[in-house]
Amino acid sequence: MRKTEEQGSLLPRLHTLSAIAGAVLCCCPFVLDYGTTSIGFAHALISGMVLVIMASIAATDIWPTIERACLGLGAWITAAPWIVNFDHLSDPLISHIVVGIVAMSVSLICLLGRSARGVATHRLDRR
């Protein structure tokens, strides 16, 4: 019983990895020199900041349904090079794919962990 409780408290903390990945995505344009006029530059900064914020909220376990939004954001970050059309640039392509896969993986692990424990992914207080 104690092990299940410990695992339950660790699952939301996995989102810290997503937050770190978002911060890395924000730093990639400067480290890998995307060029400031590149669409990959702007997308990396914006989506990286949004991922850091959403993953930080998910890590606190205040709002458990945000895990689904993090999953969607990870999918967007992964697919963005083709949708926004900067797939011809190798550095932004690779960094977006890696960060998107990390965000989706963490979100899926947390969502599956919640459903395996029988914990609702949303809380409703009816009084």
Mean pLDDT, the chain, whole residue set: 82
Domain-embedded: residue 126: no
Domain residue limits at 62: 11-117
Domain-embedded: residue 2: no
Taking only the tens place, the pLDDT of each residue in 75-121 is: 999 999 999 988 887 888 999 999 999 999 998 988 888 766 665 54
Domain-embedded: residue 60: yes
Domain-embedded: residue 35: yes
Of the ranges 39-43, 51-55, 59-63, 92-96, which one carries the lowest mean pLDDT score?
A: 59-63
What's the CA gap between 126 and 88, in Å, rounded? 52
pLDDT-derived band at 2 (thresholds 50, 70, 90) equals very low
CB burial of residue 39 (10 Å; 0-12, 13-18, 19+): middle
Domains identified in the chain, total number: 1
- Other CB atoms within a 10 A radius of the CB of residue 80 amount to 22
DSSP type of residue 32: T
Q: What's this model's pTM, rounded to 2 decimal places?
A: 0.79
